[in-house]
């Protein structure tokens, strides 16, 4: 199920391409006066550990990046609606600049597919003559784009097109459409003409449906794997995306104005921030390396410093989370960023004294950087989420072990950086072992003693785009339903046991709760509160409070599933999800985003 790679040497855009296309669009934008609404889908049933609290207090980077790209391309009449804050939003009632938008975009993770489809269905309530061009994007489109076209039948609510890539793919689509758009023609009418003429087939990174004369979808056309921006300094700046946010409300319609700049920090005190992409490890459950075409991409330290200062100055932002796959993946680039941030000065003040940030790393790479941890701290880093997975390396080998993990955590705390371990529970791991550190509780105890400040424990779950994905289904591990309740997309977040070969899977569900309860509890809170403080200060106290709060949500949301697993009436899947429509490439060959070997003749 891994995404295929483009031909060697053709994986990346040519230097300057992403910048140039925005310049070209700015030249034609005044003739079109487009209005655009971008919705970020969010299923509130996913609100639990380990992302509780920050899940609704950090405006998603994806929708903001698209909004920033639109503004930088000359389309300022753009609004970003986050379902995290606007649960009642209805696209059928949206008006921007006094009219129905020309374009409606939906960005979604696979977890939020149900909400994404609901938004598209509601947009279809708009009269077809006035309906905006509907564009879907986000990780669900990168790995399972056909899923949004699976509702089928006459009058089905389907997106007009799915973008399976980054900003450049969307901007290329707009450039082609605006080049052929008629004077009084809607963007949706222009899209249909361009689609039917084959004008979109030269844009890698799109999926669209071919329809019959009555408008019923007959097949999906896949234009291939996107080219990636190699130099992330070419991305649009981050700050403009925050100027487009819809104010939080219970209204189904849009407000007359975007969220004022002086209120942004109140609702999104943490900034998700792109610094690097890519990881050298090839874990079988992870889709990241294939998505990045086995490349490692980064912004320069100077660009990161400038953007952080801009966000601090304009929105008074202080806390940043690097949306990195593995920040320490490339030591030279990581040091360039850290040293630049440590030196950066603006208006007579040191930037690192005004900001705090964290990101994701691995145990192996943390130890490789141990002599540089002082400068990492000086750059403003106060927390690192460490991919521990399983300290005995039974699940996956990434250079981790009990001793190495303990050493890495103690080094981080000695340098004033909070170690935030990310663990994975799996079928062969018991809750507790007497003579070895293999058990889940044994490893949580080791992490506590080593200085872990937070804890993330998720059940290993099939991830679309990973090497293991198809095999997990065909081996019968994935559940279709349990005691009559169908497994839904939001349950594939690792908090629910939805894929297991264990004869008593309820124990796995209970193990996750037991691990969290052993880490987040009143006794441990008092121990942290009253214990001796080191260089990380009082941060562990606050995280304990949030952890206990989130644990209450987690128990409430997963306990019913635990009971169903205990009753044991499990129906299993034997095939991975596929498209109900045949899929093909633009040349009639296999579709890049279909499962390997699937021709579409057996569409279902």
Three-state SS letters, 89-134: CCHHHCCECCECCCEEEEECCHHHHHHHHHHHHHHCCCCCCCCCEE
CB of 277 closer than 8 Å to CB of 325 = yes
Q: pLDDT at position 353, please?
A: 93
Give the separation between CA 420 and CA 362, rounded to whole angstroms: 11
Question: What 3-state DSSP class applies to 321?
Answer: strand
pLDDT value for 598: 60
Nearest CA among 447, 432, 439, 418 for reference residue 524 = 447
C-alpha–C-alpha distance, residues 604 and 601, integer Å: 9
Q: What is the rounded CA–CA span in Å between residue 107 and residue 493?
A: 18
Pairing type for strands 217-222 and 583-585 reads parallel
Alpha-carbon gap, residue 437 to 322, rounded angstroms: 32
Domains of the chain in start order, with CATH, are 17-230 (no CATH), 269-567 (3.80.30.20)
Instruction: At 149, list the tokens.
Output: 């076209």
Cα diameter, the chain = 76
Q: Rounded to whole angstroms, how far apart are CA atoms 235 and 11?
A: 17
Q: What is the pLDDT of residues 522-531, one digit of tens each?
A: 999 999 999 9
CA distances from 519 to 132, 457, 587 (A): 49, 11, 55
Q: What is the pTM of this model?
A: 0.95
Q: Could you tell me which of 81, 83, 84 has the C-alpha nearest to residue 95?
A: 81
- 3-class DSSP state of 258: coil
Q: Nearest-CA neighbor of 592 among 156, 162, 197, 66? A: 162
Q: What is the spatial distance between Cα 164 and Cα 222, in angstroms, rounded to a whole number?
A: 9
pLDDT of 578 reads 87
Phi, psi of 277 (to 5 degrees): -135, 140
- What parts of the chain have a pLDDT lower than 50? 601-604
Given this model, what pLDDT does residue 118 score? Answer: 97
**Measured between alpha carbons, how far is residue 106 from residues 118, 246, 565 in Å?**
11, 14, 34
pLDDT for the residue numbered 584: 94
Answer yes or no: are the C-beta atoms of 560 and 543 closer than 8 Å: no
Other Cβ atoms less than 10 A from the Cβ of 214: the count is 7
Among residues 314, 305, 317, the alpha carbon closest in space to that of 275 is found at 305
372-404 in b/e form (b: 16+ CB < 10 A) is bbebbbbbbbbbbbbbbbbbbeebbebebebeb
Q: What is the model's pLDDT at position 597?
A: 57
């Amino acid at each position: 199920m891994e995404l295929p790679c483009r031909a060697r040497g053709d994986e990346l855009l040519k230097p300057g391409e992403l910048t140039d296309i925005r310049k070209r669009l700015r030249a034609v934008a005044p003739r079109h006066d487009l209005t655009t609404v971008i919705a970020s889908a969010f299923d509130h049933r996913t609100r639990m550990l380990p992302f509780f609290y920050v899940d609704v207090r950090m405006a998603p980077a994806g929708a903001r990046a698209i909004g920033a790209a639109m503004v930088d391309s000359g389309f300022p009449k753009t609004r970003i609606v986050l379902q995290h804050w606007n649960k009642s939003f209805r696209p059928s009632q949206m008006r921007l600049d006094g009219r129905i938008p020309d374009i409606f975009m939906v960005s979604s993770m696979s977890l939020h597919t149900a909400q994404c489809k609901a938004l598209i269905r509601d947009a279809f309530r708009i009269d077809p003559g006035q309906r905006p061009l509907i564009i879907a994007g986000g990780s669900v489109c990168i790995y399972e784009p056909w899923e949004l076209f699976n509702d089928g039948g006459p009058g089905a609510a389907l997106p007009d097109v799915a973008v399976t890539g980054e900003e450049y793919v969307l901007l290329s689509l707009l450039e082609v459409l605006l080049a052929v758009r008629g004077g009084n023609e809607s963007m949706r009418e222009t899209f249909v003409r361009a689609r039917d003429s084959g004008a979109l087939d030269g844009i890698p990174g799109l999926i669209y449906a071919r329809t019959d004369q009555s408008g019923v979808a007959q097949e999906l056309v896949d234009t291939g794997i996107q080219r990636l921006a190699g130099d992330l300094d070419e991305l649009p700046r981050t700050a403009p995306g925050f100027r487009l946010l819809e104010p939080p409300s219970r209204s189904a319609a849009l407000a007359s104005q975007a969220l004022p700049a002086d209120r942004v920090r109140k609702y999104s005190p943490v900034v998700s921030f792109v610094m690097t992409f890519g990881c050298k490890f090839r874990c079988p459950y992870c889709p990241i390396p294939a998505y990045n075409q086995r490349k490692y991409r980064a912004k320069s330290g100077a660009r990161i410093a400038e953007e952080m200062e801009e966000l601090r100055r304009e929105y008074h932002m202080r806390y940043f989370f690097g949306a990195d796959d593995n920040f320490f993946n490339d030591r030279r680039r990581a040091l360039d960023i850290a040293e630049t941030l440590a030196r950066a000065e603006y208006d007579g003040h040191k930037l690192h004294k005004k900001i705090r940030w964290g990101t994701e790393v691995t145990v192996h790479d943390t130890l490789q950087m141990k002599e540089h941890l002082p400068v990492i701290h000086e750059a403003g880093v106060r927390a690192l989420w460490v991919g521990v997975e399983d300290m005995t390396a039974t699940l996956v080998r990434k250079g981790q072990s009990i001793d190495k993990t303990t050493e890495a955590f103690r080094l981080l705390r000695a340098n004033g950086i909070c170690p935030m371990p990310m663990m994975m529970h799996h079928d062969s791991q018991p809750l507790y072992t007497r003579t070895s550190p293999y058990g889940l509780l044994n490893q949580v105890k080791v992490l506590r003693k080593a200085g872990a400040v937070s804890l993330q424990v998720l059940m290993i779950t099939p991830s679309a785009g990973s090497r293991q994905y198809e095999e997990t289904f065909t081996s019968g591990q994935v559940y279709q339903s349990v005691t009559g309740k169908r497994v839904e997309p939001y349950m594939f977040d690792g908090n629910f046991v939805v894929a297991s070969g264990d004869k008593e899977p309820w124990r796995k569900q209970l193990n996750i709760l037991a691990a969290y309860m052993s880490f987040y509890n009143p006794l441990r809170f008092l121990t942290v509160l009253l214990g001796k403080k080191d260089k990380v200060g009082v941060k562990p106290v606050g995280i304990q409070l949030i952890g206990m709060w989130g644990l209450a949500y987690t128990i409430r949301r997963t306990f019913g599933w635990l009971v169903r697993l205990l009753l044991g009436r499990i129906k299993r899947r034997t095939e991975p999800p596929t498209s109900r429509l045949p899929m093909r490439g633009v040349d009639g060959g296999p579709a890049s985003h279909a499962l390997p070997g699937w021709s579409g003749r057996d569409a279902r």
